[in-house]
Amino acid sequence: MSMDNVVIEDWYALSEAEAIEMAIDRHGKDGTTSVAYCALEAWGDRSDPKYQFWFGLFLKLVQREHVGWA
């Protein structure tokens, strides 16, 4: 089954870890990039809760990667 046709419908019921895993299943190995793609898919209305969820998760992942960076 191709992952291109899979839509992450129940995003609101996912924990952050589950959302990252589903994004990776859909878009590839890197969690941050995969979550960014999910945010781009939901983009359109920045007040849309789906977009805010994925974009917020993306920001958390980016910040986590830069911990200790000066």
**C-alpha distances out from residue 27 to 4, 12, 14, 21, 47, Å:** 8, 19, 17, 10, 24
Q: How far apart are CA 53 and CA 30, in angstroms?
A: 18
**CB 68 within 8 Å of CB 60:** no
List the domain boundaries for the chain. Answer: 13-65
End-to-end Cα separation, the chain, in angstroms: 44
Q: Above 70 in pLDDT, residue 1?
A: no
7-55 confidence digits (pLDDT tens): 577 788 899 999 999 999 999 989 999 999 999 998 888 888 999 999 9
Q: How far apart are CA 7 and CA 66, in angstroms?
A: 30
